[in-house]
């Protein structure tokens, strides 16, 4: 995600704090107050850039509303005021973009710098105070309150999340929306301030503020969502498990981990399992506890609870003997099961050991629960036999971990649990055809061999091997990103031209929809001038005047063919024609339109201009009415056609939803004509989500596909998304599914 600020920060304090964050001292430096506040300061350029990407669309909506208001206004002064504002924003769109971006950047920077000292404001005092002296000031405050409140309601969900995350940054409860530096009020005030700078006419200030409604204003939801995602990517979590050292963690190099957590019912089941309230039914049909043994175990557990502080000499020896049996079983089966192609959990057999017969209910529950988890893993069709044969060897070490530390089941960041999740995700990455020679499989083998040979009681070993595997995956990810850099640049260029074409089509459509464009001119604009506007939009950042020039030339051309009913209008036409025709020809030369149709177009244009010069100045009321009715009819037909086209384009079937849900890092199976399935990672999504680049894990095979083609493949069933939720989370849900709460 690009977070380059539009206005570079020059604060010395910011630079000093940045160096503090990037020092390798570890968690202490990362979690310091200055580092936490700096994280929030870094969200300002992100928000500013996201606003900048919306400014063109927002400006168009605002200009359209001003024009509509001028057309519908009853009072002439209001109609003129609205039309003048419409013309101002159309002529000075680039200036307006710059003013809005600058005002928002300044406002957010100021808010972030003081927000930690801001007190919660009462709802009724948030916008109104006693400093307003005039009616206009009071009305402005009321309009600001209404606009901000409407945006708060519309964006309630991401705002609540952001309030929570900012509260986590400050190590306190979620803040109030009045303290949130990214609250809608700040954006509304900044946009209004930008307008007041653009237009010195005070009469337009309240007019524009009335129009800043959710349907017209900036779309704040994607901005707030991106800030939330960026904060969580930096280790800030809405729940109480921040990990500021996890920003370069597992999730950055593995398939996207969809947010997943055990629901309250499952959490309650886990608590009951490990409190001894219930005993899991063993899934191995060859093993059944006798009624006497179960009664004996229950009595033993009750005595254990009553005499928790007493010594139990035989208990220690039983545990020691059981762990010794586990170690022997691990050695005995390590070679036997690496060559198996049929996988099943060996943990059911652990419960047959003589030393296991006197384990407590909780200890047996722990082993049975792990047996079910491994049963689920070995039945997972997304994992190949190579990775399963290695995960078989982790069963006994994981049992030893879980019996010593039951946080394995309750804490997602537990190192042993993280290792299982990483291996599950890595199994998705492995190509079934070449897995046996894949270097990743060798790295995984080294990790498991180290766990088997070195693990005794120190769980830190799992943290070490997770770090080793993570480092390897990070190196692969960096190589893959470098490999797709050229396809990304090509896709960006293609999308830029595609978006420019859409903007050009819109520019022409809103003019044709008025019904005032002559038929032959309409064809010319839709076939030739759209090409010119596409080029102008594509170079807008480098040459903003080119777009203004192309739009003005088009507007002048349309105006030149409208009826001229006064001597002054005809004189103005004669005066403008030479310059207009020169510009028109220059633009047509730029797109190399040298076809015979060009001669025919200019011939028709000259005939129309000559006819207008000879036409009578006075038109009869009947003729004026006919012209007005024809124009209104054409405008109505154009708008209806466009509405129908947009409705047809807005298909919202399951395939559309599946593509909309895709995120960078997800893995998809592509089925080719030979029914061969190849797995690719979604390596890149274009800013407008119009094209996607998929690549093999190491980036040596990459291809680009448009959104329309990808949706078509989902509809035909030749592509499927690979679910990459936490493997242990899914396995736990399966293992506890038959337990009644």
Compute the distance between CA of residue 271 and CA of residue 259 in angstroms, rounded to an integer.
22
- Please say whether the beta carbons of 490 and 696 come within 8 A: no
Local confidence band at 282 (pLDDT 50, 70, 90 cut-offs): low
> Is residue 528 predicted with pLDDT exceeding 60?
yes
**Which pLDDT value is given to residue 529?**
93
What's the rounded mean pLDDT across residues 117-140?
56
> Is residue 588 predicted with pLDDT exceeding 70?
yes
Of 661 and 134, the one with more pLDDT: 661
Average pLDDT, the chain: 76
DSSP 564-624: --SHHHHHHHHHHHHHHHHHHHHHHHHTT--SHHHHHHHHHHHHHHHHHHHS-SPPPHHHH
Of 30-34, 313-317, 521-525, least confident by mean pLDDT is 313-317
**Which pLDDT value is given to residue 291?**
34
Express as a percent the part of the chain with pLDDT over 90: 17
Compute the distance between CA of residue 233 and CA of residue 246 in angstroms, rounded to an integer.
8
**Which pLDDT value is given to residue 491?**
86
pLDDT digits (tens, 9 = 90+) for 359-406: 888 888 888 899 899 999 888 887 888 888 888 888 888 988 888 888
Q: Could you give all domains of the chain from N- to C-terminal order, each with its CATH number?
A: 12-247 (no CATH), 264-483+728-735 (no CATH), 487-648 (no CATH), 653-725 (2.30.30.140)
Compute the distance between CA of residue 113 and CA of residue 41 in angstroms, rounded to an integer.
8
**Residue 75 phi/psi, 5° resolution?**
-85, 135
Of 489 and 624, the one with more pLDDT: 489
**Which pLDDT value is given to residue 710?**
92
Task: Give Cα 458 to chain centroid, integer Å.
Answer: 39
**Which pLDDT value is given to residue 103?**
93
**Which pLDDT value is given to residue 196?**
92
Of 338-352, 590-604, 720-734, least confident by mean pLDDT is 338-352
> Is residue 21 predicted with pLDDT exceeding 80?
no
**Which pLDDT value is given to residue 611?**
82
Q: What is the DSSP letter of 309?
A: T
> Is residue 33 predicted with pLDDT exceeding 60?
no
**Which pLDDT value is given to residue 226?**
92
Is-above-0.75 flag for pTM?
no
What's the rounded mean pLDDT across residues 49-78?
88
Token pair in block for residue 616: 């009578």
**Which pLDDT value is given to residue 311?**
39
What's the rounded mean pLDDT across residues 223-229?
92
**Which pLDDT value is given to residue 247?**
36
> Is residue 9 predicted with pLDDT exceeding 50?
no
**Which pLDDT value is given to residue 194?**
93
Q: Is the dihedral of CA 89, 93, 99, 104 positive or negative?
A: positive
Most confident of the ranges 451-460, 495-504, 511-520: 495-504
Of 725 and 164, the one with more pLDDT: 164
Compute the distance between CA of residue 680 and CA of residue 718 in angstroms, rounded to an integer.
13
> Is residue 129 predicted with pLDDT exceeding 60?
no
pLDDT digits (tens, 9 = 90+) for 631-650: 566 656 666 666 666 555 55
Local confidence band at 553 (pLDDT 50, 70, 90 cut-offs): very high
125, exposed or middle or buried, with CB in 10 Å at 0-12, 13-18, 19+?
exposed
> Is residue 619 predicted with pLDDT exceeding 70?
no
> Is residue 616 predicted with pLDDT exceeding 80?
no
- Please say whether the beta carbons of 336 and 349 come within 8 A: no
Express as a percent the part of the chain with pLDDT over 70: 73
Most confident of the ranges 34-43, 252-261, 326-335, 339-348: 34-43
> Is residue 527 predicted with pLDDT exceeding 80?
yes
- Nearest Cα to Cα of residue 108 among 158, 44, 170, 50: 44
> Is residue 126 predicted with pLDDT exceeding 90?
no
**Which pLDDT value is given to residue 38?**
78
pLDDT digits (tens, 9 = 90+) for 654-677: 888 889 888 888 888 898 777 777
> Is residue 30 predicted with pLDDT exceeding 90?
no
> Is residue 703 predicted with pLDDT exceeding 70?
yes
DSSP 493-524: HHHHHHHHHHHHHHHHHHHHTTS-S-HHHHHH
Token pair in block for residue 325: 């049996």
> Is residue 452 predicted with pLDDT exceeding 80?
yes
567, exposed or middle or buried, with CB in 10 Å at 0-12, 13-18, 19+?
exposed
- Nearest Cα to Cα of residue 250 among 539, 654, 617, 665: 665
**Which pLDDT value is given to residue 177?**
82
**Which pLDDT value is given to residue 218?**
93
- Residue 689 gets the label, from left (phi > 0), alpha (psi -120 to 50) or beta, of left
Compute the distance between CA of residue 344 and CA of residue 286 in angstroms, rounded to an integer.
14
Of 312 and 704, the one with more pLDDT: 704
What's the rounded mean pLDDT across residues 686-692?
87
**Which pLDDT value is given to residue 29?**
35
């Amino acid at each position: 995600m690009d977070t380059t600020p539009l206005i570079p920060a020059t604060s010395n304090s910011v630079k000093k704090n940045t160096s503090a964050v990037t020092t390798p001292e570890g968690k202490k430096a990362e979690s310091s107050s200055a580092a936490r506040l700096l994280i929030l300061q870094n969200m300002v350029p992100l928000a500013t850039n996201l606003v900048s990407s919306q400014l063109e669309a927002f400006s168009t909506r605002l200009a359209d509303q001003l024009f509509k208001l001028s057309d519908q206004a009853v009072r002439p002064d209001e109609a003129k005021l609205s039309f003048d504002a419409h013309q101002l924003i159309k002529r000075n769109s680039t200036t307006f973009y710059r003013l809005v971006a600058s005002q928002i950047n300044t406002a957010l920077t100021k808010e972030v710098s003081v927000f930690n000292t801001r007190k919660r404001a009462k709802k009724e005092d948030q916008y109104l105070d006693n400093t307003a002296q005039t009616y206009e000031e009071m009305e402005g405050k009321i309009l600001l309150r209404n606009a901000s409140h409407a945006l708060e309601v519309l964006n309630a969900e991401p705002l609540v999340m952001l309030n929570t995350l900012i509260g986590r940054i400050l190590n306190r409860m979620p803040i109030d929306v009045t303290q949130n530096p990214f609250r809608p009020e700040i954006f509304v005030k900044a946009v209004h301030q930008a307008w007041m700078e653009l237009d010195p006419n005070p009469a337009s200030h309240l007019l524009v503020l009335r129009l800043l409604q959710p349907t017209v204003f900036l779309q704040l939801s994607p901005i707030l969502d991106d800030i939330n995602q960026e904060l969580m990517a930096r280790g800030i979590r809405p729940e109480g498990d921040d990990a500021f050292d996890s920003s370069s963690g597992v999730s950055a190099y593995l398939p996207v981990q969809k947010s997943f957590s055990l629901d309250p019912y499952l959490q309650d089941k886990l608590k009951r399992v490990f409190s001894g309230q219930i005993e899991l039914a063993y899934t191995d049909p060859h093993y059944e506890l006798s009624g006497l043994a179960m009664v004996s175990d229950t009595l033993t557990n009750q005595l254990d609870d009553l005499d928790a502080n007493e010594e139990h000499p035989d208990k220690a020896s039983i545990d020691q003997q059981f762990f010794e049996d586990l170690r022997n079983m691990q050695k005995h089966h390590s070679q036997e099961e690496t060559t198996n192609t049929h996988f099943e959990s060996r943990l059911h057999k652990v419960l047959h050991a003589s030393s296991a017969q006197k384990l407590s209910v909780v200890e047996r529950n722990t082993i049975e629960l792990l047996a079910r988890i491994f049963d689920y893993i070995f039945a997972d069709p997304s994992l190949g036999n190579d990775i399963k044969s290695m995960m078989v060897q982790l069963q006994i070490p994981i049992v030893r971990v879980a019996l010593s530390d039951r946080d394995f089941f309750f804490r997602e960041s537990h190192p042993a649990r993280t290792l299982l999740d990483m291996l599950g995700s890595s199994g998705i990455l492995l190509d079934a055809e070449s897995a046996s020679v894949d270097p990743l499989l060798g790295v995984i083998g080294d990790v498991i061999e180290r766990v088997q040979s070195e693990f005794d009681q120190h769980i830190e070993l799992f943290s070490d091997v997770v770090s080793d595997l993570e480092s390897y995956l990070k190196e692969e990810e960096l190589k893959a990103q470098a490999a797709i850099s050229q396809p990304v640049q090509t896709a960006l260029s293609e999308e830029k031209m595609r978006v420019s074409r859409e903007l050009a089509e819109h520019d022409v459509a809103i003019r044709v929809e008025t019904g005032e464009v002559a038929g032959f001119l309409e064809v010319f604009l839709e076939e030739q001038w759209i090409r010119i506007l596409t080029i102008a939009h594509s170079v807008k950042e480098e040459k903003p005047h080119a777009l203004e020039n192309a739009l003005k030339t088009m507007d002048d051309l349309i105006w030149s063919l409208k009826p001229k009913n006064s001597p002054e209008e005809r004189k103005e036409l004669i005066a403008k024609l030479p310059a207009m025709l020169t510009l028109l020809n220059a633009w047509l030369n730029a797109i190399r339109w040298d076809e015979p149709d060009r001669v025919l177009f200019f011939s028709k244009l000259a005939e129309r201009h000559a006819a207008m010069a000879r036409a009578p100045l006075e038109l009869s009321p009947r003729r004026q009415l006919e012209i007005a009715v024809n124009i209104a009819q054409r405008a109505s037909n154009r708008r209806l056609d466009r509405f129908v086209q947009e409705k047809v384009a807005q298909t919202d079937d399951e395939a559309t939803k599946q593509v909309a849900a895709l995120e960078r890092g997800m893995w998809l199976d592509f089925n080719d004509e030979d029914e061969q399935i190849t797995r690719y990672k979604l390596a890149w999504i274009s800013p407008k989500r119009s094209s996607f680049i998929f690549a093999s894990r190491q980036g040596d095979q990459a291809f680009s596909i448009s959104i329309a083609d990808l949706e078509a493949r989902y509809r035909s069933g030749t592509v499927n998304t690979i679910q990459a939720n936490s493997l242990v989370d899914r396995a736990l849900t399966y293992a506890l599914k038959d337990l009644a709460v």
